[in-house]
Amino acid sequence: MLANTSFSATTAALRTFDSRHERFRCSYTIPDLDGTSETARRWPREVQRLNHDCAKLHVTRYSAYWNIALWLLLEEREHGRRYGGEVLEVSGQSFLRPYLTRAGTRFTSVGYPDVDVMRLSDAFPAERFDFVLLENVLEHVSNPQLAVLQVHRVLRPGGTFLFLVPSTYPYHFGAQDYWRMTPDALKACVYTSDEYVYTSDEYVYIYYLLLTTYTTTYYGG
């Protein structure tokens, strides 16, 4: 029954897929290591903090986290936007926790097999969270479109969904390892159904394709 339900939900969502996936804004900043870049000249305090916080990250994740954290810092500095609130972390406590600075932010951290991202409805009511963070999860999920639909079910209106997946990385053991995703694949995951997904041009803020490192990142709100 679950397999039939999953298949039906996914095929119904994919029938709605159209050119909306073309609407996005993209950006990528090469991490500044010596304080000489334009980024460091414009935002010296932010770059100093990032270089300190990211110093012990593995090389495969350094650039991705550096960019996402920079985006979060500049959203607050330039636009007064603080992210956080009720936050769901799938697959452990995130490096990005200190950058989610909305007042009263609280974290709920879950992982497989205790909670299956394709069955979040078994664990949480609808519109439970302001922010959902999936770090290197969807490549291990047999039906990523269904997982995204489940995420949007637990997001509150105007909430934010941020996820990271590998674009190039060796097969690795542990949970099943199904996918390597391009930006087009990520857009296909996000733009699934009007019922679940905001269709404003502002829905997808930014994506990064880090072919020389590890991670494709996509996030919307």
- Render pLDDT for 156-205 as a digit per residue (tens, 0 to 9): 988 888 888 877 777 777 678 887 877 677 777 766 544 433 333 322 33
Domain ranges in the chain? 2-220
Q: How far apart are CA 76 and CA 114, in angstroms?
A: 34
The answer to whether 193 and 22 have CB atoms below 8 angstroms apart is: no
Q: What is the CATH number of domain 2-220?
A: 3.40.50
Rounded Cα–Cα distance for residues 155 and 128 (Å): 6
Contacts 24+ apart (CB under 8 A), 5-10: 6/118, 6/143, 6/146, 9/145, 9/146, 9/149, 10/143, 10/145, 10/146
Per-residue model confidence (pLDDT) at position 197 = 38
Write the pLDDT tens digit of every residue in 66-123: 888 998 999 899 999 999 999 999 988 899 999 999 999 999 999 888 999 999 999 9
Q: What is the pTM of this model?
A: 0.75
